[in-house]
Structure 1
Amino acid sequence: MINRIGIVGLGYVGLPLACAFASRSFKVVGLDTDLEKVELIKKGEAPIYEEGLQDLLKKVLEEKSLKVTSSYEEMLEESDACFICVGTPSSPDGSVDLRYVKETIEMLGESYRRVDKYFLLVVRSTIPPGTTINVIRKILEESSSKNIGEYGLCFNPEFLREGRALYDIFNPDRIIIGAIDEESGRILLDIYKKFHGISMPPVLITNPTNAELIKYVSNVFLATKISFINMISQICQRIPNADVKVVAEGIGMDKRIGREFLNAGLGWGGSCFPKDVKAFLRFGEEIGLRLNLVESIIEINESQIENAVKLVEELVGRLDRKTISILGLAFKP
């Protein structure tokens, strides 16, 4: 049973995960190349805001179940499985910029070359379908001179809401494990069984490509629900006595549809939906498909901003030289 966990990338995904594992009887080594961030975390100061994170960070540091470093060698020496949680920002064309993932895997591989033990690598960063098998595995084997069987490899997507990351880590709807081989999947499943105990959520074990697709399709589908109800809101604005809130409540009573993500508003925004939806659209182009539906949900989302401005103008007239207050900016475009 693996008891020692490494976490690479101590941002919105990695730091809550590190603290969560450390609070559940795992010995955790968190790694980040940002030396200022490392020193801040060592002092018990979370560099990001997540509900409950500050207190949990101080607790696991005091209990010495979490240590923080900038050394790959130290992390590898003191862990038997490692979760990669580095950023995957958008390129100018909307595709995923994999440079941080590639750099991390290469650094890990070079350090792992000098280590003689089985090691499980778990990628949490959002990456295009096929990346684990065609990119990460290749870089790791070239840099470490090791082959599958000597190490394990999984893609394990996160489904965290910013601001509620700790809650979502402790109470996930499901766990998706994209394993390169049976042994990798078994070991990661055992880690989660130890972490969740009797509260183990549903688990799907599949190949890495399916798991990568599940992550993107989940976010695109949620963005689709939001764009759909926003399209309905525009219809309701043009029909006397129509109320989109009532319509949403009515269709949401259908169990096949559900009420969640059917709240009309300015549209979807934040750090994930815009990036992932555009990346999925770009991925379709790369495999020779025009994803018309995805184009439409982006178009509807952008139109909601223009629609909001028009609604304000209808109420107060031209907006020239007027001061506009916006209350509540979270996750808005």
Structure 2
Amino acid sequence: MIRPRLLISSLSAVMVVLISGAAPLLAKPLKVGVTGTPPFVTKTGSGFSGISVDVWREVAEENKLTYELIPQESPDEGIRAVDSEAIDLLVGPISITPRRLAIPDVNFTQPYFFAKAGVLVPKSPPTLFSRLQVFFGRAVISSVVVLIGVLAAVGTLVWLAERHRNEEAFPKPAVAGISSGMWFALVTLTTVGYGDKAPVTRMGRTITSIWMVMSLIAVSSLTASLASAFTLFLSGAADTPITSAKDLAQRRVAVIQGTSGIRLAESGNMNQVAARNLAAAIEMVNQGQVDAMIFDRPAIRYYLKQNPEMKVKLAPFTLAEETYGFAFKTGSQLNTPLDVSILKLQRNGTVEKLTSQQLD
């Protein structure tokens, strides 16, 4: 027969063990990473606000969790912090993508928000002047300047070698002689071969032979610069409006570093232009530096609502469905409590109420 005092002592010991096992989750403040843009995450003077932060606060309050908010540069950086256990949880508009789900030691909560990836485009197509600007870029101008300098150098050397014995083709006066030398160098470069001027001295022919070989490199460099400019002129800056996802192929599209938009641009065969944040990416579209931008549609709508003077608009199509959740370490005790709380908040209308307050 078990004595009552012994039974009470045993039960007390079991309770101590159970409480000590649960203590780290409840007693120790969680390190919660925060990343995202308004209206989901907004940095304020006293901390953070926004849809994602408000949903987290409701979840934390229901589970009586204490925590500290730690800003993260991007969703990808925050997920790496969760993976390395630098933080316990990542809060924000974190898209649950196949690539992120494939990370073995990172898990996600039940989605708390369903969104779409949107495309931002200029309100009006680029002008002829803006399209011609690609031919005045640094690469094209530097190639032309170098080419003129090389032609002048080769023309001068040929003139110095030929002026005494080949005065008819390369006159002795410097201006006329060097001009003739540059003309000869240009004809040789383009392989036109008029034959109106040709070296007759051994030195002149040696210089010409060297130039023939060098001209192959010069032509390749100039051709690459011009081909790049023509590609941007004919495709990236064309007047054709962007009305579907296929119209983005081969176009210059701004993507924000560390976001799921990078994978969407890769799958759509777009020419990516990296931006630090949402404001910088939208400004690229506004200034005509890119043809479009990819980001979450609710965040774009919110930004345009706050900045109505921007000469940009949302395209009439979306690229993909997005589901937002919170990220945490696989095997964490947070898994079930967070999922249950998020489902409760969705069913009782709290998430919808928090969302409408920010987006409407």
Give the structure-1-normalised TM-score: 0.21
Instruction: Kindly name which structure, 1 or 2, has the bigger radius of gyration based on alpha carbons.
Output: 2
Tell which has more relative contact order, 1 or 2 (C-alpha 8 A, sep 6+): 2
Q: TM-score with structure 2 length normalisation? A: 0.20
User: Per residue, is there more strand in 1 or in 2?
Assistant: 2
